[in-house]
Amino acid sequence: MSARILDGVPLADAIRAEVGAEVQRHRAGGRAPGLAVVIVGENPASQVYVRAKGKACEEAGMHSETVRLPEAVTEAELLATVERLNRDPRIDGFLVQLPLPKHINGERVLNAVDPAKDVDGFHPVNVGKLSIGDPTALKPATPFGVQQMLIRSGIETRGANAVILGRSNIVGKPMASLLIQQGEGGDATVTICHSKSRDLPGICRTADILIVAIGRPEFVTADMVRPGATVIDVGINRVDDPSQPKGYRIVGDVAYGPVSEVAGAITPVPGGVGRMTIAMLLQNTLQAFEQAGGR
């Protein structure tokens, strides 16, 4: 059997078009929503993400700002930037791109972001709101994107056994919070695994929906997947490949070829979950704008 491919490109394009239409409506009524991204230092992967976020924002008709700070910026200077953006009336949402340099306390910075503008959904207020099912929560973009993929691909989560590999604050834990809520894209029975879990292959084989976010190239093999299961691969890993012009290729946390012979549906890497993340960031910016009353 060959799995159905869950292509993130048309799904993300559809969300971006929906957001774009709403942005046009708001723009005609006064002002477009605005997103700012703060980037510290020269991390090449972060530079790529930040450029992509700015471009997507402009394509959706939003106001976009990128604040570039040097690697040597002090924590106090970064906190002052956060405060400025908290007060800036043109900015409805912003994020501080991770990772931050070692001399900066990332938790202090994330906690300084106004929860109403926290479009990454990492502030404890939004984490708490998500946990209690408050619809005004701004939800972390990657798991929110996975949930939208499941909904829009017609994959039933209600009553399903969902197994999540990885318990990070940005993917695994909020993914679990989303899937256990009542309602569309929720009502699943959720198991979270991590590096201390016993019998990982056995737990994975109980999954109707297996979501993998561990950062280990091609870790999940075909024997870990129940025939017909849906496999969502969040991983993005660079592996050396001299046959490629850049000397590397991007693979997920799932061995795509063999697993797609067993799974019922699978996301590709690239072109799967990664495409959804930016679309959901735009969606969050629109939500933040609307919740603030479009002021």
- Rg, Å, the chain Cα set: 19
- Is 97 part of the annotated catalytic residue set? yes
DSSP string, 80-135: HHHHHHHH-TT-SEEEEPSPPPTTS-HHHHHHHS-GGGBTT--SHHHHHHHHHT-T
Our finding on whether 195 is near ligand NDP (CB under 6 A) is yes
- Is 55 part of the annotated catalytic residue set? no
Instruction: Report the distance separating Cα 137 and Cα 134, nearest Å.
Output: 6
From candidates 9, 194, 228, 238, binder to ligand NDP by CB under 6 A: 194
DSSP string, 63-95: EEEEEEE-TT--HHHHHHHHHHHHH-TT-SEEE
Stretch that binds ligand NDP, among 24-32, 55-63, 78-86, 269-277 (CB under 6 A): 269-277
- Is 7 part of the annotated catalytic residue set? no
Our finding on whether 196 is near ligand NDP (CB under 6 A) is yes
Of residues 84, 92, 96, the one with CA closest to residue 63:
92
Our finding on whether 236 is near ligand NDP (CB under 6 A) is yes
- Could you give the angle at the alpha carbon of 58 between the alpha carbons of 100 and 294, nearest 5°? 90
Closer residue to ligand NDP in complex, CB, 52/292: 52
Q: Which of 120, 208, 233, 253 is catalytic?
A: 120
Our finding on whether 167 is near ligand NDP (CB under 6 A) is yes
Our finding on whether 131 is near ligand NDP (CB under 6 A) is no
From candidates 4, 26, 27, 216, binder to ligand NDP by CB under 6 A: 216
From candidates 213, 266, 279, 281, binder to ligand NDP by CB under 6 A: 213
Buried b or exposed e, range 123-142, using 16+ CB within 10 angstroms: bebbbebbeeeeeebbbbbb
Q: Which of 97, 147, 148, 283 is catalytic?
A: 97
Closer residue to ligand NDP in complex, CB, 86/237: 237
Our finding on whether 234 is near ligand NDP (CB under 6 A) is yes
Contact set for ligand NDP, span 46-105 (CB under 6 A): none
Closer residue to ligand NDP in complex, CB, 92/253: 253
Our finding on whether 230 is near ligand NDP (CB under 6 A) is no
Q: What region, left, alpha or beta, does residue 182 occupy, with left being phi > 0 and alpha being psi -120 to 50 degrees?
A: beta
Our finding on whether 146 is near ligand NDP (CB under 6 A) is no
SS3 of 261, please?
A: coil
Long-range pairs, 201-204, Cβ under 8 A, ≥24: 203/163, 204/163, 204/165
- Could you give the angle at the alpha carbon of 47 between the alpha carbons of 69 and 51, nearest 5°? 105
Q: Please, what is the minimum distance in Å from the beta carbon of residue 8 to ligand NDP?
A: 9
Q: Please, what is the minimum distance in Å from the beta carbon of residue 216 to ligand NDP?
A: 5
Catalytic residues: 53, 97, 120
Q: What residues make contact with ligand NDP under the rule CB under 6 A?
A: 142, 165-168, 170-172, 193-196, 200, 213-216, 234-237, 253, 273-274, 277
